[in-house]
Amino acid sequence: MTETHTTRAVFVRPGEGGWGKGLLLRADGKRDKVLSVTGGGIHPVAARIAELTGAEAVDGFHTSVPDDEVVAAVINCGGTARIGVYPRKGLPTVDVYPGAPGGPLAKFITEELFVSAVGVKEVTEADSETGTVPPKVPPRAERPSARDVAATVTGGQSTGFGRAFDSVSGVFVKFGSGVGSFVNTMLASGRQTVELTLTTILPFMAYVSLLLGIVNYTGIARGIANVLSPIASNPLGLVVISLVVSLPFLSPILGPGAAIAQVVGTLMGSQIAIGALPVQYALPTLFAINGQVGCDFIPVGLALGEAKPETVAVGTPAVLISRLITAPLAVIIAWGASFGL
Amino acid sequence: MTVYYESTILRAGEEAQDMVDGGVVILYADPIPDALESVSVVHSPAAKPEREVRVGDIFRLGDAEIELTAVGERAHENLQTLGHIVVYLNPDEGTTLLPGAVHGRGTVSLPAAGATLTLSGGSTT
């Protein structure tokens, strides 16, 4: 407790985006405490006001102070309780957040009692000659009960014509907000589509074009196809083909252009057509020459599914390697299914 | 549904009933300044919330269940530091969401001392 009461006044002005005109605060006689109702101890703004007025800063959550000893209450309110409770008591209230009158107690929050968005630099020494008249608070009887004010917020009291009007306008409001949310949804989906096209699908098309160019220009796939086609005429050869085309480092470049499928497929088709090969070869061949299908699309497919980059990094090799196992299996299963054709 | 915040109701201020009737529940953890006590429901949380408050979470007060439809940007900070949260019940369309408030659907009666308050929702990631 300090016993020296210098009656220095401070002026607290609203900060950036704040509300109010500013408050002139002073400590005098009994009124010598700045209440900090911010949680986490004394707020720097409360400390600054106390320092300049010669008052004492008190943590309102741990010490209870009679109203007539309070110079001002410093709050960090989200807009309902503290912002209204202290002005209702007629105490000058300083909000460190940029709050404005709102909530069930909004009507008590007046320019004479409230200022917001206050930082330490908004607290300045004032000319102590200008006396301040403590703000007037209406007597308890004239103040509306909390029930009335709370009802005005959530719309709980209206009668007769008012109620009818409210229900009619409520229908329009509901309809309007329904239309609004529909339009918003449509707009958002359109935005997402365009974004996906630009950020994922178009780059993928460019990448496939590049790959296709390389594959066609170098003739690598065609070369592999020519090497592989002689062994396509026996079942074991088909399994080997499926293994080769699904090798994780080959499958992504064999996918675009489908050279293997074209060369080997055409060869086998014509062989089966002239009767050089039994028709049972058709299905296993189909599986053998298509082991690489989609391997170039995995990263894009994952990205389209909005997978995280880490998921893509892990998922791509996982699918490529699983393809190495499933492709020969598919050929064998197809072979087994072809008996009796 | 995992409970990420649990607390016990201690007492309610003299005007808390009026607030609840008007569709506003103001919660504060103990200790609390007298000025706030009159309009608040005072409770004693077991621990800090395990995650932030989200839309769709269920707020249970005694037997009442409230589904949260909007969450103000400062609601979590208030809950964490002061055990303070303001629940607006079934507000009219177009009611502004105040930074420290949450909006919810449901009905609440003033909880008795000793009632349980919980917040629960999806996983605590």
DSSP string, A230-290: GGGGSHHHHHHHHHHHT-TTTHHHHSTT-HHHHHHHHHHHHHHHTTSS-GGGHHHHHHHTT
* Catalytic annotation present for A77: yes
Mean pLDDT of the region A200-222: 79
Answer yes or no: is pLDDT of A40 > 80.
Answer: no
Mean pLDDT of the region A10-14: 88
Please state, in angstroms and rounded to a whole number, the distance separating the CA atoms of residues A49 and B9. Answer: 35
Mean pLDDT of the region A290-307: 80
Q: For testing the chain B interface, which of A36, A80, A113, A137 should be mutated: the one with the most B CBs within 10 Å?
A: A80
% of chain B beyond a pLDDT of 90: 1
The pLDDT-based confidence of A86 (bands split at 50, 70, 90) is confident
Please answer yes or no on whether A155 and B98 come within 8 Å at the CB atom: no
B121 to chain A nearest CA, in Å?
23
List of residues 6+ apart from A22 with CB closer than 8 A: A11, A12, A13, A14, A115
Q: Counting Cβ atoms within 10 Å, is residue B13 exposed (0-12), middle (13-18) or buried (19+)?
A: buried
Mean pLDDT of the region A55-66: 83
User: Is A179 touching B (CB cutoff 8 A)?
Assistant: no
Q: Which of A2-11, A161-170, A269-278 has the lowest mean pLDDT?
A: A2-11
**Segments making up each domain of chain B, as ranges:** 2-121
Please state, in angstroms and rounded to a whole number, the distance separating the CA atoms of residues A77 and A2. Answer: 29
Q: For position A215, what pLDDT does the model report?
A: 75
Q: For testing the chain A interface, which of B98, B102, B103, B108 should be mutated: the one with the most A CBs within 10 Å?
A: B98
B104, amino acid identity:
G
From B22, B36, B75, residue closest to A150, measured CB to CB: B22
Pick the catalytic residue: A23, A35, A72, A77? A77
Please answer yes or no on whether B89 and A154 come within 8 Å at the CB atom: yes
Q: Counting Cβ atoms within 10 Å, is residue A241 exposed (0-12), middle (13-18) or buried (19+)?
A: buried
Answer yes or no: is pLDDT of A6 > 70.
Answer: no
Please answer yes or no on whether B23 and A153 come within 8 Å at the CB atom: yes
User: Is B24 touching A (CB cutoff 8 A)?
Assistant: yes
Average pLDDT, chain A: 78
List of residues 6+ apart from B60 with CB closer than 8 A: B66, B116, B117, B118, B119, B120
Q: For position B111, what pLDDT does the model report?
A: 85
User: Is B110 touching A (CB cutoff 8 A)?
Assistant: no
More confident residue, A8 or B119: B119
B39, amino acid identity:
V
List of residues 6+ apart from B123 with CB closer than 8 A: B2
Answer yes or no: is pLDDT of A157 > 50.
Answer: no
Please state, in angstroms and rounded to a whole number, the distance separating the CA atoms of residues A241 and A228. Answer: 7
Q: For position A146, what pLDDT does the model report?
A: 54
The CATH architecture of the domain made up of B2-121 is Beta Barrel (2.40)
More confident residue, A43 or A164: A43
Answer yes or no: is pLDDT of A224 > 50.
Answer: yes
Answer yes or no: is pLDDT of A4 > 80.
Answer: no
| Residue A75 and residue A83 in contact, taking contact as beta carbons nearer than 8 Å | yes
